[in-house]
Structure 1
Amino acid sequence: MITIIVVDDHAVVRSGLTMLLSDKPDLQVIGEASEGDEGIQAALALKPDVVLMDFSMPHGKDGLTATVELKKLLPDTSVLILTMHDDDEYLFRAIQAGASGYILKSAPHEELLAAIRSVAAGDAYLYPTATKRLMSEYLDKLKNPENKGTYDSLSEREKEVLALVAKGYANKEIAELLVISVKTVETHKSNVMEKLGLKSRPELVKFAMKKGLLNFE
């Protein structure tokens, strides 16, 4: 029997998921929570095999922060992120936070059930379109080696800006943190993108993740 806690800020969603999962003989929902802190406390008390965690919960602790804390406290509990965001940036942040899987709320019920069983067995799970996209990017790189700049080619200030942009800080916030102008931040960001051969923010986030620059503590 796979035991599950459902963490989502919408009561209707929690109810629907509980009904769906409890109808399966090998699955049992043993708890629910409406935000991250409540989910952590429920997990500590009930020790589930899987926590089905909503990515975005505006009231209380969000899914990523809760995942980081939960994995420290209960490393054997698998976290499956449930989200509406079909975006590589969110996907990589979830993986970096320690989630075992990432699935869209729009996924068919059969896919959700397969994802839960997969992470409960200790495997990783990504929804099919994400897997296909990542494989395509990997194969493209094998076929077309890129002569991009390296992290070491960046100045110390550029490295700071890179890390903060990847963590989601806005230009104005970065300017205040580093005590520089917004225009200077934009210049540094442009230089980083050019030196590393990156074309979009998701690509920048992927690069930062590979370098271990993201920290959700």
Structure 2
Amino acid sequence: MQKDDITIFLVDDHSIVRQGVHAFLAAQPDMNVIGEAASGEEALKLIPDLIPHVVLMDLLMPGMGGVEAIRQMKQVSPRTQVVVLTSYHEDENIFPALRAGALSYTLKDIRLEELVDIVRRAANGEASLHPHVAARLIQEVRQTRRSVPASFAQLTERELEILRLLAEGCSNTTIAQRLVISEQTVKGHVSNILSKLHMVDRTQAAVFAWQQGLMEKNPARE
């Protein structure tokens, strides 16, 4: 293994999928597959010691699902980038996986050459989305923006997300854990929210969010 190789870990309950992907990625001059697992539980036992650059993760597996595995994986190895590689592109799979901390989401119908590019991009912190997934996310963003009260039109999607959590009574620590970001980043967003809304403190912003109907229009509650 070369010093600058991209280290990769595979998580899929189908051995034939792991074998095929393993063989192709291992043949790349800049990649090294350092481990495999057939379940989320098995992966979480190995990831803390291996700390791979990229994890290729299936979602629907026996035992712990891929979404929970991603959430726990990002807690024990925040720098590891997770690429979802699955056969499913329904909303109930896409959004929870991305919220849990997955960087990229692609489907098993892509060519192996495309997967190589996705892995390289992930190692550099660049997200990749399968066209079906990207189209669904764009649609969701448009619907979300239409449902946002005019009072909050100046807030970004991330700021709206944090304001909703703030209005639910979440602390900065809890928000950071849920969104898989640092507490310092949360504090920065909260400061921006208060500035844009011309509020004095987070309690005032939370009350305003409820008064203006933002929480009733929270997509996560629908």
Alignment TM-score > 0.5, same fold: yes
Equivalent residue pairs, number: 155
Change (3 A) 1:57 1:147: closer
- Residue 39 (structure 1) shift: 0.7
Query: Which of residues 57, 69, 90 in structure 2 aligns to 1:53?
Result: 57
Change (3 A) 1:16 1:134: same
Residue correspondence of structure 1 range 146-157 to structure 2 within 5 A:
none
Query: Which of residues 68, 73, 77 in structure 2 aligns to 1:70?
Result: 73
Q: Secondary structure at the match of 1:131?
A: helix
Q: 1:126 aligns to what? A: 129
User: What per-residue deviation string (whole Å, max 9, x for no partner) do you get for residues 40-76 of structure 1?
Assistant: 1221121110111110112x32211111111001100
- Residue 124 (structure 1) shift: 1.9
Which residue identity lines up with residue 117 of structure 1 in the other structure? R
Name the Cα RMSD after superposition: 2.8
Q: 1:114 aligns to what? A: 117
Which residue identity lines up with residue 32 of structure 1 in the other structure? E
Q: 1:17 aligns to what? A: 21
The answer to whether the 8 A contact 2:105-2:133 is kept is no
The answer to whether the 8 A contact 2:83-2:102 is kept is yes
Change (3 A) 1:139 1:71: closer
Q: Secondary structure at the match of 2:92?
A: helix
Q: 1:166 aligns to what? A: none
Ranges in structure 1 where 5+ consecutive residues have no aligned partner: 149-158, 160-194, 197-205
- Residue 136 (structure 1) shift: 4.9
| CA–CA distance in structure 2, aligned partners of residues 105 and 85 of structure 1 | 9
Q: 1:100 aligns to what? A: 103
Change (3 A) 1:133 1:75: same
Which residue identity lines up with residue 86 of structure 1 in the other structure? H
| CA–CA distance in structure 2, aligned partners of residues 84 and 116 of structure 1 | 17
Q: Secondary structure at the match of 2:43?
A: helix
Query: Which of residues 93, 102, 106 in structure 2 aligns to 1:90?
Result: 93
Tell me the TM-score normalized by structure 1. Answer: 0.63
Residue correspondence of structure 1 range 134-213 to structure 2 within 5 A:
134-136=137-139, 138=141, 145=146, 207-208=219-220
| CA–CA distance in structure 2, aligned partners of residues 19 and 116 of structure 1 | 14
Ranges in structure 2 where 5+ consecutive residues have no aligned partner: 150-167, 169-215
Q: Secondary structure at the match of 2:28?
A: coil
Report percent identity of matched pairs: 40
Change (3 A) 1:136 1:22: same
| 4+ residue segments displaced more than 6 Å | none
| CA–CA distance in structure 1, aligned partners of residues 9 and 57 of structure 2 | 8
- Residue 99 (structure 1) shift: 0.8
Q: 1:37 aligns to what? A: 41
Q: Find out whether 1:28 has 2:32 as its counterpart.
A: yes
